[in-house]
Structure 1
């Protein structure tokens, strides 16, 4: 890409959006809170930007209102958008506040909480397709066949400028920040924030974060064109766009210093950590920034760092999935398969060993119809709650010391027989 190309979003555009959003019934200034727990973990000063506490539960209203308010002033009164959830709510609220109609096309597998919330903000919701791209195609066709204006989630200068107002707030709240960490889906958020930060504090590092299962930025930067994935696979549905645009790619190239990726396991652990330590409910896309500062790929030791918590619309089914995954990863939730001679008293004996070590048995299952068992043998499968890895290891060791072959199903631990 040529270095002489003109940027399509400037800091002046963000200033105009900031003035337009000067109404706390539409967008409120979300707080910044220091997290001493996270600071100790990463060896720096961590200040969380709590944008998940925004009216719609995410930053999306900023860009949506900036776009829609301008269009309504020009005579547009109907809008169409495609979204997995957060953009949907932002467009719905913005259109309703501006006295306009909105139709939001969402994938059929969108979280029910986000579907309900979008309708609650005044939009008509249509469920189409199995992923974001299916919804996008339908929404664009619908807009083209009507007088409605399409509101893109990220490929629009007015959307990017609206999201950039967060960068102004982040700088004003913490002017000495060394590193700002921002999740990336389609790139509108990181483009706006990085444009603002680059203008206000050029020495501040801006780091973008993508989920492994939806990462496209590195390849897009290498090839010089936006790369789109055919499929995405991540628990962070808010950043599962599977691609960026020419607009956001150019702005990322101009203003973002570094891009890292995080796994779903790291995101799940970050969600749980935020629940435990910061007492905040944050969705996967919002927790990606915290996952990044805790990962080995991003060093923030000795720095003042501000991770953006961009969204808090966490579906309760997903919360359950995340908690089970994170607790399993920490070995606070074990699944043990113990081989026994199928005789009376064996379940009681092993349960007693587990109880003697202060652990709680959630469930136990008796398996006899398994190929590798001889006549008279069986498996007992326990789901056990522990306090962590050390406690889990002591339980397994104790069961093995009593002469049983134990397999930690979650960890694929090699069974050890002491008989």
Structure 2
């Protein structure tokens, strides 16, 4: 854990200030009644790019800009690519974003709209990653990883600092779990400030690379499949240096959800919280509704659900809501 310090997180916060929003923490009366504990939603959906990814990408790119970097590349399931494109445009840096054919078209177009190259490669995040690494080797791009990078983790960790400041007695934080940049960052900051806080990661049943890796005790490959929680897809990298060990040390529980449960969370968010969310952002709500979050007696108290992004294809959202 010595690779990251709380001072790194506070430096990241100063670096991204004015470029990234401090997001609201809003209590949900409906979810609080269900949980029999106060439940708050941390709304990263209001970021300019519609997701939390802007924090880590901005921190990493500001640091690269300070070195004179002019071209960056990343591999992304959509939201990180959009964040890199946004931060790169603001800093006057050329950006390329490599994505697989599983990335929804609305996320691809959002990257292009921000002036970045969108390169569609293969049928998995690993294929997109290989193309990004080729651009680094052959064309001199600087690589901005979607999660396994200390500047990215420190940027995402600023969410944990904001929660601790706005809700000092928080007992339980529930985080969508994918490559681990978000989980590792929030868990690190939150537990540095309050070691007693409970940290739960929530992901889909199929193709959950971090969960499979935690079970195996080392990073492993998984087959990617389509999911409503598409932003949680992709591997964690067999050479994972940071997010796997930090997550393994700090996670208290992993919750796996099927597609129908994720859909119910998305519908509840729309009908009761007045939020349009992508599937990955609704998994915390879905887990709570399904009574899958286990608040042990020592962890009774306020619960925070990280609501990560709003970048769902609206046609898909309408179909899910109509189906109920």
**CA offsets, 1:186-223, max 9 Å, x none?**
00000000000011111111111111112233442243
**CA offsets, 1:19-43, max 9 Å, x none?**
10111xx211111111101111222
Match of 1:40 among 33, 39, 58: 33
- Secondary structure at the residue paired with 1:119? helix
Equivalent residue for 1:286?
281
Distance 1:276 1:297 in 2: 21
Distance 2:315 2:134 in 1: 32
Equivalent residue for 2:307?
309
Query: Closer, same or farther in 2 for the Cα pair 1:118/1:32, shift >3 Å?
Result: same
How far 1:299 moved relative to its partner?
2.6
Distance 2:122 2:217 in 1: 30
Q: Relative to structure 2, which stretch is displaced further, 114-123 or 191-200?
A: 114-123
- Max radius of gyration: which structure? 1
How far 1:119 moved relative to its partner?
1.6
Higher helix residue share: 2
RMSD: 1.6
Superposition map of 1:72-83 within 5 A: 72-83=65-76
Equivalent residue for 1:108?
101
Distance 1:190 1:152 in 2: 15
How far 1:307 moved relative to its partner?
0.2
Whether contact under 8 Å (1:155, 1:247) holds in the other structure is yes
Distance 2:103 2:255 in 1: 26
Superposition map of 1:7-86 within 5 A: 7-23=2-18, 26-86=19-79
- Secondary structure at the residue paired with 2:235? coil
1:264 aligns to 2:259 (yes or no): yes
Whether contact under 8 Å (1:212, 1:234) holds in the other structure is no
Whether contact under 8 Å (2:156, 2:181) holds in the other structure is yes
Give the paired residue count. Answer: 319
Q: Relative to structure 2, which stretch is displaced further, 67-76 or 289-298?
A: 289-298
Equivalent residue for 1:201?
194
How far 1:94 moved relative to its partner?
0.9
Unmatched segments (≥5 aa) in structure 1 = 1-5, 328-419
Larger RCO (CA within 8 A; separation ≥ 6): 2
Distance 1:139 1:16 in 2: 28
Unmatched segments (≥5 aa) in structure 2 = none
1:171 aligns to 2:164 (yes or no): yes
Whether contact under 8 Å (2:224, 2:234) holds in the other structure is no
Q: Give the ranges of 4+ consecutive aligned residues of structure 1 lying more than 3 Å apart after TM superposition.
A: 216-219
Equivalent residue for 2:126?
133
Distance 2:218 2:34 in 1: 37
1:248 aligns to 2:243 (yes or no): yes
Distance 1:218 1:109 in 2: 20
Equivalent residue for 2:229?
236
How far 1:324 moved relative to its partner?
4.8
How far 1:141 moved relative to its partner?
1.0
Equivalent residue for 1:189?
182
Query: Closer, same or farther in 2 for the Cα pair 1:218/1:116, shift >3 Å?
Result: closer
- The two structures have a TM-score, normalised by structure 1, of 0.73
**CA offsets, 1:342-375, max 9 Å, x none?**
xxxxxxxxxxxxxxxxxxxxxxxxxxxxxxxxxx
Distance 1:198 1:308 in 2: 16
